[in-house]
Amino acid sequence: MNETISLSLGGSYIVAPDNPRKTKNRGRKCMILAFEMTEDDVDIRVIYLDTQREVLLKFSDLKPITE
């Protein structure tokens, strides 16, 4: 399934991977800090809003908050 999501710096999103086995950080809220280019992909640097920890995530792991 292809879904178009607009991501912006400073925006708040929820970690909701499409892969049902990726459960570790599912449901956590985060804010985008930067987009980082690698040789073959683009990762997103985010900060979790509950712990203020910075991590790298994939585009497909983020969904907009719909509250």
| Structural domain spans, the chain | 12-64
Task: Retrieve residue 8's tokens.
Answer: 């912006």
| 12-64 carries CATH number 2.30.30 | yes
* Comparison of pLDDT for 38 and 11, the residue scoring more: 11
| Mean pLDDT, residues 1-24 | 85
State the pLDDT confidence band at 3, using cuts at 50, 70 and 90. Answer: low
| Mean pLDDT, residues 3-15 | 85
| Res. 1: pLDDT tops 70 | no
pLDDT value, residue 16:
92
